[in-house]
Every structure is written in C-alpha cells, then in structure tokens.
Structure 1
Amino acid sequence: MNRESVQSSMIASLGYEADTSTLEVEFNSGAIWQYYDVPESVYYDMMNSGSVGKFFHSNIKGQYREAQVG
C-alpha cells in the first residue's frame, strides 16, 4: 500500500486502500499497523487534522480491528 509522509512526532506515514477500507499507519518506531473497516472520510479527516497523533488516539486506536503487518 502506498503511504504518504505526515508531520507527527509519533506517525511517519499513512496510507488508505478504498477497496478494502483499510488504513495503514507507519509509526516512527518502524512498526506498521493496519486498521480495518475505516471509512474513507476518517482517513481524509486524519490527513487534514492539526495533529495526526491526537486524531489517531481519539478516533482510530481502539475503534477498529487492527493487525501489525510490519
């Protein structure tokens, strides 16, 4: 999945696959996680938020099925 770099002290890049509603997050630690059944609007809101890390903690973490993939 292609990811786009973001300005965050916690997250290095984000990617989204619309066909499967999968959000992919690469953390600055190098870990890569996928979050499933994430609406596309949530991805765009995250990309355009003032703080990607805060958005992640408030709206993604613990809200969707997830798996570490890298």
Structure 2
Amino acid sequence: MRARRLQSSLIDRILFDDDAETLTVFFKRSGKYIYDGVPRAIYDAFGKAASAGQFFNDKVRGHFECRPDPVRRRYPME
C-alpha cells in the first residue's frame, strides 16, 4: 500500500493498493471512495499533479468504477 497526502481544498489524501489495483480517495468533506482497476501510473501522476482536483476530474472521475467506502462518514464535519 502506498499513501500520499495532497495539498488540495477538495482532497485530503490518496491511497493505492498495488495488489488490488485500487485507488482510495479521501475527500475532505464527503468521506472516502474506492476506484477499481486503476493503474499505478495514475496514482503516481495524481500525487505529482499541480492541481489534485483538476487531475481527479480529468483522469479519475468517470474513468474507473467507483464505490463509496462502507465506513465513510455520512455528514461533513464543520
């Protein structure tokens, strides 16, 4: 497993599982979501992107099957 904290107003950190090829994105307000079938190169580029939110929208959202983490928090913290 690899983890990286990001400098983003939207995303807190990302976690990548090499064996399962899953990318977990920890959003600051809506909890965490797991993306399946993500290549390692996407994780590497995500961590180096100038804008994590823009990278997520361009390269992750809508490109991989997504599921909410079953233990994600239901309401954003104030």
Alignment TM class, shorter chain as reference: over 0.9
Counterpart mapping for 1:1-70 below 5 A: 3-69=3-69, 70=72
Which residue of structure 1 lines up, in the alignment, with residue 75 of structure 2?
Answer: none
Stretches of structure 2 lacking an aligned partner (at least 5 in a row): 73-78
> Could you list the per-position Cα deviations for residues 11-31 of structure 1 after superposition, in whole angstroms to 9, with x for gaps in the alignment?
011000000100000001141
Q: Distance in 1 between matches of 2:68 and 2:20?
A: 17
Deviation at 1:5, TM superposition (A): 1.5
SS at 1:12 equivalent: strand
Larger-gyration structure (1/2): 2
Residues 33 and 68, structure 1, Cα contact 8 Å, conserved in 2: yes
TM-score normalised by structure 1 residue count: 0.93
Over the aligned positions, Cα root-mean-square deviation in angstroms equals 1.3
Q: Distance in 2 between matches of 1:67 and 1:52?
A: 20
Number of the residue aligned with 2:76: none
Cα deviation code 1:5-49 (max 9, x no counterpart):
210010011000000100000001141000000000010001011
How far, CA to CA, are the matches of 1:29 and 1:2 in structure 2? 22
The alignment covers a number of residue pairs equal to: 70
Summarize the Cα distance change of 1:57–1:5 in structure 2 as closer, same or farther, 3 Å threshold. same
